[in-house]
């Protein structure tokens, strides 16, 4: 099979589309013929060498995708060959075929395409747990969403609006602002005095969702006394240290969040995914695909994602047979 690989750390130029052995089918796993692969910043960080990688090069990045089961290991009867499935947390996804543990597989409803699943799952499950587990959002609350035109951001805006919240969405350009506004947010630009604007228009938000990191102190400025900041990413760099005395003096809260702490069982993973699929099927949650690249041109997908010019999700698609 062919896969997008790298043997040294660096920029997109280190990526190589090359032939590698098929993954070994183990008991409790399924071999999935990939139809769509989600590209995430975690893949960029791994390629750069910011994350520890197990094994020896050539490495295959990727954790998210969708396709059809073409072979089954022993030990499970929940799936059959030909079943359409997706996953958000199984390694080596940037390849034509991936060996995925049964517990990580999510059945796809007929109306959900592989592209939609690969564009939705990781970011959608993240946005969902932010509003369910990190901060139990209530109707009428005010919300600030950083990086609102990104994969998580656009879904977070929509889900918060569906729950009856007023949402301010921060983004970096007028082009992205149009997408954020269409998702239901009141748009703010990072190039403007956004802290002052949030305070003027809201009096202080109930919760700020910060995936930038370097903006964490500014996020605290935007929340009301007794408000809440949820920190879940470092797209802009490492966050500053937070003085707990500030939290005490302002009665503000800081919560960290990681999706893998809530996807603890197969049942939880599938139930949460099913709730997202229902919203998409009903037309109340829109999945934005920024661009599609053949897997052989995956380096271009990495470049687009790193440029921070994309709106929504970047997908990699296995090359068509000649």
Q: Please give the radius of gyration of the chain, using alpha carbons only, rounded to the nearest integer.
A: 20
d(C-alpha 170, C-alpha 185), whole Å: 9
* CA neighbor of 212 nearest in space, from 195, 231, 234: 234
CA dihedral sign of residues 135, 140, 144, 150: positive
* CA neighbor of 232 nearest in space, from 121, 140, 123, 73: 123
CA dihedral sign of residues 233, 239, 245, 246: negative
Total Cβ atoms within 10 A of residue 312: 22
Fold of 2-120+264-317: Quinone Oxidoreductase; Chain A, domain 1 (3.90.180)
Q: Which helix (H) or strand (E) holds 99?
A: strand 97-101
- For residue 271, the 8-state DSSP code is H
175 three-state secondary structure:
helix
The terminus-to-terminus CA distance of the chain in angstroms comes to: 14
* CA neighbor of 165 nearest in space, from 221, 220, 208: 208
- Burial label, 320 (beta-carbon count in 10 A; 0-12, 13-18, 19+): exposed
- Write down the pTM of the prediction: 0.92
d(C-alpha 47, C-alpha 66), whole Å: 22
For the chain, give every domain's residue range.
2-120+264-317, 139-256
d(C-alpha 238, C-alpha 219), whole Å: 14
d(C-alpha 270, C-alpha 14), whole Å: 35
Per-residue pLDDT of the chain (322 residues; tens, 9 = 90+): 999 999 999 999 999 999 999 999 999 999 999 999 999 988 888 898 877 777 788 999 899 999 999 999 886 778 999 999 999 999 999 999 999 999 999 999 999 999 999 999 999 999 999 999 999 999 999 999 999 998 899 999 999 999 999 999 999 999 999 999 999 999 999 999 999 999 999 999 999 999 998 999 999 999 999 999 999 988 788 889 999 999 999 999 999 878 888 888 999 999 999 999 999 999 999 999 999 999 999 999 999 988 878 888 999 999 976 5
CA dihedral sign of residues 30, 35, 36, 42: positive
Distances (CA, A) of 161 to 144, 226, 281: 12, 22, 18
d(C-alpha 136, C-alpha 138), whole Å: 7
Ramachandran region, residue 63 (left: φ > 0; alpha: ψ -120 to 50; beta: rest): alpha
- For residue 95, the 8-state DSSP code is B
Q: Which helix (H) or strand (E) holds 248?
A: helix 244-250
Report whether 19 contacts 85 (CB < 8 A).
Answer: no
d(C-alpha 157, C-alpha 165), whole Å: 9
- Structure confidence at residue 109 (pLDDT): 96
- Structure confidence at residue 260 (pLDDT): 82
> What is the Cα 196 distance to its own chain's centre?
29
Is the domain defined by 139-256 classed in CATH 3.90.380.10? no
Residues 6+ apart with CB under 8 A from 258: 232
Strand partners, 101: 29
């Amino acid at each position: 099979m062919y896969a997008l690989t790298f043997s040294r750390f660096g920029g997109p130029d280190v990526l190589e589309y090359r032939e590698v052995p098929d993954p070994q089918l183990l008991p409790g796993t399924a071999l999935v013929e990939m139809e769509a692969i989600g590209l995430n910043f975690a893949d960029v960080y791994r390629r750069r060498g910011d994350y520890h990688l197990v094994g020896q090069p050539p490495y295959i990045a990727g954790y998210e995708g969708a396709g059809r089961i073409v072979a089954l290991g022993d030990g499970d009867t929940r799936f059959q060959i030909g079943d359409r499935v997706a996953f958000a947390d199984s390694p080596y996804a940037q390849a034509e075929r991936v060996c995925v543990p049964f517990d990580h597989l999510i059945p796809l409803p007929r109306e959900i395409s592989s592209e939609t699943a690969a564009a939705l799952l990781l970011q959608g499950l993240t946005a969902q747990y932010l509003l369910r587990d990190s901060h139990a959002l209530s109707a009428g609350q005010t919300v600030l969403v950083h990086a609102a035109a990104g994969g998580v951001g656009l879904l977070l805006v929509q889900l918060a609006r569906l729950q009856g919240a007023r949402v301010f969405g921060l983004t970096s350009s007028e082009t992205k602002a149009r997408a954020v506004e269409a998702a239901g947010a009141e748009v703010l630009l990072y190039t403007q005095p956004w802290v002052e604007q949030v305070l003027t228009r809201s009096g202080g938000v109930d919760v700020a969702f910060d995936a930038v990191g370097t903006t964490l102190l500014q996020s605290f400025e935007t929340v009301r006394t007794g408000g809440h900041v949820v920190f879940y990413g470092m797209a802009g760099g490492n966050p500053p240290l937070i003085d707990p005395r500030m939290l005490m003096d302002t009665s503000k809260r800081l919560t960290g969040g990681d999706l893998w702490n809530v996807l603890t069982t197969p049942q939880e993973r599938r139930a949460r995914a099913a709730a997202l699929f229902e919203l998409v099927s009903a037309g109340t949650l829109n999945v934005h695909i920024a661009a599609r690249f053949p897997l052989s041109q995956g380096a271009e997908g990495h470049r687009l994602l790193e440029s921070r010019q994309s709106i929504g999700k970047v997908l990699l698609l296995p090359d068509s047979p000649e």
